[in-house]
Structure 1
Amino acid sequence: MSIHAAFSAKAREKEGLINAVRKQASDQGLEVQEGEEGLNQDREEETGSFVGFVLLAGPMWDRSQFKSDMESMWGIECVEEEDAEVNAEEDEAEDDAGGSDHAEDVMLFNVSNMRVMAALMDVPVPDREAEIHAANNYMWPEAVEIVKTHQAQLIVAIMGKDAPVLERGKLFVKVLAALCRQKNVLGIYTSGTVFQPQFYLGASEMLRDGGLPILNWIYFGLYQTEKGWNTYTYGMKSFGKDEMEILEAGADPRELRDFLLNLACYVLDEDVVLRDGETIGFSAQQKLPIVRSKGVSLDGDTLKIAYPTP
């Protein structure tokens, strides 16, 4: 194969990956929509799907810094997938391929049978999609105002179905956390909301202590109605689990959210399958009913967990 043909094949492969990731993101509900849509996809298709968007102030990122951060933070060496011969003739091959800039915009590397892709797109997320989802983040009041200024995005995806789903999820967090240290990052768009970079980076510290980065993986929605406080998960389906809701609870909202957080952590850490009609409890005496039915806060079926009463 000639240098030019090799480069063109590499460019086509990367373009195909970007298109595949866009479809994967769409399947996860990371697309233009009001509220929490897109959660009624087939569970098997969604399991292990980890796609996120790093929102940038401008169309640039520092690859060298990213590689350095991945190594210093997580001990991961990022060796890019590039043919040395093609690399040596890159400029000439780009001209022959019609000025393609995929080699500059897409980074691919492998970590323990998992493939990481980071693709720079020099346009903002279209149709105010990121701003709409940023409004969901009650922990970041300035989210919408900051997010609406973004001018570019890095699409990040983890591929490799042979790796355990928790390991894929951990690598996903490590990559996004390292990218939080880029100078022009404004937000991390994943799990149905936009996270503040400092928050996302801080939450990833759980990995250093051997814990699960639940707050990076799962968004815990929280809202009030006339009958009480409601909370729900967004992100459990990436791990092959049902999303969960607690509805109309007469409880302190922080305690309610922490209860669901602990439950989500238990389900993921112990690989527990909660079923309709069963009960769950954190003590021998506690038996909280579980009902699987049409979601209230989310599309598709969800698990309704009763909140313990005093």
Structure 2
Amino acid sequence: MTEKDFSIEQSESSILLSMPMFNGVDSYNLQAVIDDLKSYWKLDVSDVNGDAKTATMSIDGVLVALASMPAPIPAKDIEDIAPHNYLWKNAEEDCRNHQSHAIVTVLSSKNVAILERYKMLTKLNASILRTSGAIGIYQGTQTLLLPKDLYLDFANFLLEEELPIQLWVYIGLIGSQDGSSVYTFGLKDFQKREIEVLDSKLEKMDLYDFLLSIVNYVVAQDVVLQDGETIGFSAEQKIAIRVSEGRFLEGNTIKLEL
């Protein structure tokens, strides 16, 4: 088995995790979550086992698990990533007093594509947020902290057959005297190399929007960007693709030469 084969197999069979956070001793209501999955997302929920503390169920044939944890996420975990999460500017302050959280798990499956499993994770998180007093979602694997209202807004993209990439992949923004740089963190879960754009003369938000469009295309169309090729959104646009050692990430990354 080659290194590439191993990474793909590992990603396809790995579990997906997220942690809704609650102030006080609040938690989710299992039946309310199930009802919302059925009514809002029109999903088939079956084989429910367990109780409000720990439960498993099948959602459209995907096995998921919920667990209520009467303790906060360690403060250091929040503090390490909160300053970088510009989609939740007051995250550190808002999360400081949370006293409990849940663990949402979409379990391993070689029969369900990773994209579909991410959609399921998002719908389950959204149903918990919509039916409880949860304040937001922590996804440490992708270094993401996402507030409740924003998460629900992005999750609704799925109703329009669009992808809420912002809930799955962190896009880092870095400015310097040489220009603006952006990078992804989370594409590896979709069996793709992470992407960096270095020292661009574009404004930060223009660069962010550009990379978001590229990531959406790569994930939605299951595209593998290859060293030496070009990419663009028009016949005239030809952006060179290079693979080299990452500047902001470990290992090799895709570089888009803007």
> Is the TM value for this pair above 0.5?
yes
1:121 aligns with 2:86: no
Alpha-carbon distance change, 69 to 122 in structure 1, aligned in 2, over 3 angstroms = same
| Residues 246, 305 of structure 1: 8 Å contact kept | yes
- The residue correspondences of 1:54-133 to structure 2 (distance < 5 A) are 54-59=20-25, 60-82=27-49, 103-133=51-81
- Deviations 1:185-232 (Å, cap 9, x if unpaired)? 122112212011111110011111111222222222112122111111
Letter in structure 1 aligned against 2:253: T
1:149 aligns with 2:97: yes
Alpha-carbon distance change, 225 to 166 in structure 1, aligned in 2, over 3 angstroms = same
1:80 offset after TM fit, Å?
4.7
1:126 offset after TM fit, Å?
2.2
- Deviations 1:268-301 (Å, cap 9, x if unpaired)? 1211111122221222222211122222222232
| Residues 122, 155 of structure 2: 8 Å contact kept | yes
With normalisation by structure 1, the TM-score equals: 0.74
1:168 offset after TM fit, Å?
0.9
Match of 1:46 in 2: 11
- Deviations 1:44-68 (Å, cap 9, x if unpaired)? 4234542111112134322222122
Q: Which runs of 5+ in 2 are unaligned?
A: 1-5
Between structure 1 and structure 2, the one with the greater Rg is 1
1:248 offset after TM fit, Å?
1.0
Match of 2:137 in 1: 188
Match of 1:251 in 2: 202
- The residue correspondences of 1:288-299 to structure 2 (distance < 5 A) are 288-299=239-250
Identify the structure with the greater strand proportion: 2
- Provide the aligned C-alpha RMSD in A: 2.0
Alpha-carbon distance change, 80 to 54 in structure 1, aligned in 2, over 3 angstroms = farther
Comparing 56-65 with 204-213, greater Cα deviation is found at 56-65
| Residues 65, 182 of structure 1: 8 Å contact kept | yes
Whole-angstrom CA distance in 2 between matches of 1:143 and 1:104: 27
With normalisation by structure 2, the TM-score equals: 0.88
Q: How many residues align?
A: 248
1:212 aligns with 2:177: no
Match of 1:137 in 2: 85
SS at match of 1:204: helix
Query: Please, which of 255, 279, 296 is the counterpart of residue 230 of structure 2?
Result: 279
SS at match of 1:304: strand
